[in-house]
Structure 1
Amino acid sequence: MADPTPVLDDLRAESDELDRLVTGLGAAQWALPTPAPGWTVAHQIAHLAWTDRSSVLAVTDRDAFAREVEKALAAPGDFVDNGAEEGAAQPPGQLLADWRTGRDALQQALRAAPAGARFPWYGPPMAAASMATARLMETWAHGLDVADALGAEPVPTDRLRHIVRLGVRTRDFAFGVHGLPTPFEEFRVELRSPSGQLWTYGPEDAADRVTGSAYDFCLLVTQRAHRADLGLRAEGPDADRWLDVAQAFAGPPGSGRPPKGTAS
């Protein structure tokens, strides 16, 4: 079973980096629009805070989390947006404090979780390492949207390795959620990390391959950039199709982002 400590450490570092970006913002900056339609900087942080709270419930109070799932099933199209809207309506100082409290509580809960434990979620149950990886992915992706709104330039780090691994592991899910047949054979994935390492997955002799930068791959699987704007290369028809549908997050197919220079 995977030791969650490394990804929990990286989740903390990723959260702290985003925290530094939003600390000290004025009310006008919290209200800036981000690339996600209808979502401001405040909505992005509110969504992270809301998901952290849900994660803590999943780890510490299954009955309370089950009630949250019932609410989601009752309003499947609005549940996430409603949570972000509610949080974004708070004063920025309170929103920031709530996010900090929730993510610290999640760190403590996951570090204290029994080895091998699995926790309910809106999708399949997750182990501690998997839940931390999902939280890191979301923190990084929503942090990109915040940075875009503020005109900041994100600096990629090798913390992306967790998102890359998640993106590779969710290949079959991405095909399935788009109603496509799952490829029978594994793909070869070769990605250059921010520090210059080569991260590889799958058999060396695979017929279908994906190559490029880890940063571009993470942008793709979190749907923060259109494939046409990335330097990823696919060899083989199934790998090519994957780059059109890839998503590392649970739920229905995302709408993604339009290519640069086109209307959304």
Structure 2
Amino acid sequence: MIDHAHDLASVQSATDRLLTAVAALDNAAGARPSRLPGWTVGHVLAHLARNADALANALDGRPMYVSAEARDADIERDAPRPLGAQLDDLRASDAGFRALAAEPADWSRTVELRNGVTDTAARVPFRRWAEVELHHVDLGIGYELEDLPQEFTEREIGFLAERFDGHREVPSTRLRSDSGRVWTTGGGAPGGPVAVEGSAADLLGWLAGRRDGSALVVKGGALPALPPL
């Protein structure tokens, strides 16, 4: 069962970790390449701030972004800012999102996200948690997939496995972590079942497009090629 209040507290903890790590960087760090192709550290930080605003919009019944072009333009506008301005923006946007999410509401209601995707309001705090954790890794400043909270890692594996469940490009696939947790996904493409085993961090990295899966053990066929998120 989704506990949005628990997830909001986790968003705060994850954001605090991120802010502390970024505050230790020198001002030139914002212009350095991140692990996301074509994006600097400043781009990732700008995206995180604007994503908090966007998810607040979704909870409030508004479109997340005016348009895809406006989203991209806002990130490009904000990416070159000094690190202090990035931190102030992240603090303010995170506080705004969490304040809105803390208000009494019908958490079973459906909200609209990007590209026509819908979800229950109760899952939005977890989506924000995922943004903060994964993009902290994307900054390339010493926070790795192995450093993520175990609860988050296992839940995000389940979330992504559900996302690819029945996908026409993914054969039936069974995921097993070294702790013994099992998930299933795919099933819409010919072939399989394929068994994919490895550490939770490597499974998440592969599912989230952060690792190529070369550290995973694959049985019953080739490692499935996953569509972009």
> 1:187-202 alignment to 2 at 5 Å?
187-192=173-178, 197-202=179-184
Take 2:20 and 2:9, find their aligned partners in 1: how far apart are those partners?
17
Aligned residues with identical type, % of pairs:
23
Query: One-letter code of the match for 1:83?
Result: D
Structure 2 residues not aligned, in runs of 5+: 186-191
- In the TM superposition, residue 52 of structure 1 has moved relative to its aligned partner by 0.9
Distance 1:24 1:189, change over 3 A: closer
Distance 1:236 1:8, change over 3 A: farther
Query: One-letter code of the match for 1:136?
Result: W
Query: 3-state DSSP class of the match of 2:92?
Result: helix
User: Which residue of 2 is the match for residue 165 of structure 1?
Assistant: 158
Query: One-letter code of the match for 1:39?
Result: W
Query: One-letter code of the match for 2:182?
Result: T
Detail structure 1 runs of 4+ shifted over 6 Å in the superposition: none
Distance 1:188 1:41, change over 3 A: same
Take 1:10 and 1:92, find their aligned partners in 2: how far apart are those partners?
24
Query: One-letter code of the match for 1:210?
Result: V
- In the TM superposition, residue 57 of structure 1 has moved relative to its aligned partner by 0.9
Distance 1:54 1:133, change over 3 A: same
> 1:37-186 alignment to 2 at 5 Å?
37-62=37-62, 65=63, 68-69=65-66, 71-72=67-68, 75=69, 79-112=70-103, 113-123=105-115, 124-146=117-139, 148=140, 150=141, 152-154=142-144, 155-158=147-150, 159-172=152-165, 175-176=167-168, 180=169, 183=171
- In the TM superposition, residue 202 of structure 1 has moved relative to its aligned partner by 4.4
User: Which residue of 2 is the match for residue 254 of structure 1?
Assistant: none
The TM-score with structure 1 as length reference comes to 0.72
Retained in 2: the 8 A contact 1:55–1:106? yes
Distance 1:46 1:201, change over 3 A: same
- In the TM superposition, residue 215 of structure 1 has moved relative to its aligned partner by 0.5
Tell me which protein shows more strand as a share of its residues: 2
- Is the deviation greater in 125-134 or in 159-168? 125-134
Query: 3-state DSSP class of the match of 1:119?
Result: strand
Query: 3-state DSSP class of the match of 2:90?
Result: helix
Query: One-letter code of the match for 2:164?
Result: R
- Is the deviation greater in 52-61 or in 33-42? 33-42
- In the TM superposition, residue 214 of structure 1 has moved relative to its aligned partner by 1.0
User: Which residue of 1 is the match for residue 9 of structure 2?
Assistant: 9
Take 2:181 and 2:74, find their aligned partners in 1: how far apart are those partners?
36
Query: One-letter code of the match for 1:94?
Result: A
Q: Report Cα offsets for 1:49-101 as digits up to 9, x if no partner.
A: 11111111111142xx27x34x22xx3xxx54422211213332222111111
Retained in 1: the 8 A contact 2:11–2:125? yes
Retained in 2: the 8 A contact 1:191–1:200? yes
| 1:235 and 2:208 aligned | no
**Please, what is the CA RMSD of the aligned residues?**
2.6
Retained in 2: the 8 A contact 1:221–1:246? no
Take 2:196 and 2:74, find their aligned partners in 1: how far apart are those partners?
36
| 1:223 and 2:177 aligned | no
Retained in 1: the 8 A contact 2:203–2:213? no
Query: One-letter code of the match for 1:222?
Result: A
Distance 1:201 1:207, change over 3 A: same
User: Which residue of 1 is the match for residue 189 of structure 2?
Assistant: none
Take 1:189 and 1:126, find their aligned partners in 2: how far apart are those partners?
24
Take 2:71 and 2:114, find their aligned partners in 1: how far apart are those partners?
12
Take 2:9 and 2:177, find their aligned partners in 1: how far apart are those partners?
23
User: Which residue of 2 is the match for residue 33 of structure 1?
Assistant: 33
Structure 1 residues not aligned, in runs of 5+: 250-264
The TM-score with structure 2 as length reference comes to 0.81
